[in-house]
Structure 1
Amino acid sequence: MDQLHLLSFGDHGWGDELLLGLGVTLSLAICTLPFAIALSFLIHWAKMSRNRLLHRFGMLYTTVFKSLPEILTLLILYYQAQAIIGWLVQSVFPGARVSVSPFFAGMVSLSLVISAYGSEVVRAALAAVGREQFEAAQSLGLSPGCAFFKVILPQLWRHAIPGFGNLWIILLKDTSLVSVIALSELTHVAGLAITTTRQPFLFYGLIAVIYVGLVTLSAQAQKRLERRVNRGFARLEV
């Protein structure tokens, strides 16, 4: 019972801090996902481009961010970006100081990593839709951009949801890495609580349960979304 008292809300427990940490974790994941998905499409487009420079950039991007550990990407971006931005600001405004927010650094670094894998999800989804759909849209007089957004994209999501759903779960868990740059997300708050109370089993066990709950809810939401977008297709395939 004394240990459970440490999870209470108020001045004598860590409930408030853990709840705020959970909010930061979810905010970071939710803010990162749209940027990661947008980058996934752009990187796939670069890899498929006939422009040799764009193609090489897309392939190099995917290779680098698939190869580097996520935590190393985060540390390099956070500290190197601070140095570069600080130098640029100092050159324009001598004496001025600027710092990169840990939240922003985490969002950017996780977007880079997730989009490297997301570009492969986009590639597989486009292959499942088929080139003939794009050709049929063009035969109706639609421009390439209009054909993509009105014909290809609505079909593409049906095939991309499982892949992006898995990447969302990976992203949700990878937010814990941002604790190394002192962002007060769930794992960082738990670490502070453990340092103060010397109760590692309680707090690590609690955040483990929270992550399992978040992943379970995400998986259920993904299944519901898949059933929704696949309505009608099952009967057609039969």
Structure 2
Amino acid sequence: MEFLGLLSFGDKGWGDELFHGLLVTLALSFATFPVAIALSFLIHWGKVSSIAPVRVAARAYTTVFKSLPEILTLLILYYQSQAAVAWVIRWVAPDRDFSMSPFLAGLIALSLVISAYGSEVVRAALNAVGRGQFEAAKSLGLSPFNTFFRVILPQLWRHAIPGFGNLWVILLKDTSLVSVIALSDITHVAELAINTTREPFFFYLVIAAIYILLVTLSSRAQRRLEQRASKGFNREEASNV
């Protein structure tokens, strides 16, 4: 009962702080993921571009952010790039200053890392769809815009959901890294609680259980999405056997 009291809401417990930290973790994850997906498509298109400098830059982007540890990317972005931008702003407008919030730094850094892997998910999904779909749409007179959004994208998601689902789980866990730049996510709150109560095992066990719950719920949601995206395709594939 003494340990449960540590999770109570109010002045005597850490329940409200942990709940707020959970909301910050979820907010960062849900804000980052759409940005990362959009960047994944842009980076893939850059890597297959007919313009050589664009192709080289996109491939370098993937190599760099897949090679750097996520925490190093976060620290470089938060400290070094913030200092560089602040220097430029002071040079242009001496009376102005610039400060990047930990939330924004985490969003940008995690988006860069996840999109580097996401571009490979897009590549594999497009290869699974096949060039024949593009050619068939072109023969029907569809524009490239309509071809992608009406023909390719609905089929692409069926192949991309498993890969993006795995990246979502990685993103959920990587949000814990923002605790090093003092964003009050669930890991940072747990560290504050540990420093106050001297109960590391209990609070680490609590946040471990929360992460396991989040990943379990995400896995179930992913399976639902896969089943929904595969409706009709499974029957068609079975009829072709």
TM-score tier, shorter chain, comes to: over 0.9
Instruction: Say if 2:118 is the partner of 1:118.
Output: yes
Aligned equivalent of 2:211 = 211
Quick check: 85-94 or 127-136, which moved more?
85-94
Unaligned runs of 5+ in 2: none
Aligned equivalent of 1:132 = 132
Q: By how many angstroms is 1:195 displaced?
A: 0.3
Paired residues of 1:7 and 1:15 also in contact (CA < 8 A): yes
Paired residues of 1:81 and 1:100 also in contact (CA < 8 A): no
Instruction: Say if 2:202 is the partner of 1:202.
Output: yes
Q: By how many angstroms is 1:5 displaced?
A: 0.8
- In the TM superposition, what are the counterparts of 1:96-115 in structure 2 within 5 Å? 96-115=96-115
Q: Distance in 1 between matches of 2:147 and 2:49?
A: 18
- In the TM superposition, what are the counterparts of 1:85-104 in structure 2 within 5 Å? 85-104=85-104
Paired residues of 1:25 and 1:186 also in contact (CA < 8 A): yes
Deviations 1:7-33 (A, max 9, x none): 100011000000000000000000000
Aligned equivalent of 1:9 = 9
Q: Distance in 2 between matches of 1:82 and 1:51?
A: 31
Q: Distance in 2 between matches of 1:51 and 1:84?
A: 29
Q: Distance in 1 between matches of 2:208 and 2:19?
A: 14
Query: TM-score if structure 1 supplies the norm length?
Result: 0.98
Deviations 1:29-74 (A, max 9, x none): 0000000000000000000111110110111001000000000000
Aligned equivalent of 2:234 = 234
Matched letter for residue 64 of structure 2: V
Q: Distance in 1 between matches of 2:236 and 2:82?
A: 54
Q: Distance in 2 between matches of 1:233 and 1:92?
A: 57
Quick check: 141-150 or 111-120, which moved more?
141-150
The secondary structure found in structure 2 opposite 1:35 is helix
Q: By how many angstroms is 1:97 displaced?
A: 2.2
Instruction: Say if 2:44 is the partner of 1:44.
Output: yes
Q: By how many angstroms is 1:93 displaced?
A: 2.1
* Count of aligned residue pairs for this structure pair: 238
Aligned equivalent of 1:183 = 183
Sequence identity percentage:
69
Q: Distance in 2 between matches of 1:225 and 1:3?
A: 38
Quick check: 91-100 or 189-198, which moved more?
91-100
Query: TM-score if structure 2 supplies the norm length?
Result: 0.97
- RMSD value over aligned CA atoms? 0.8
Matched letter for residue 107 of structure 2: M
Q: Distance in 1 between matches of 2:22 and 2:147?
A: 41
Unaligned runs of 5+ in 1: none
Deviations 1:168-187 (A, max 9, x none): 00000000000000000000
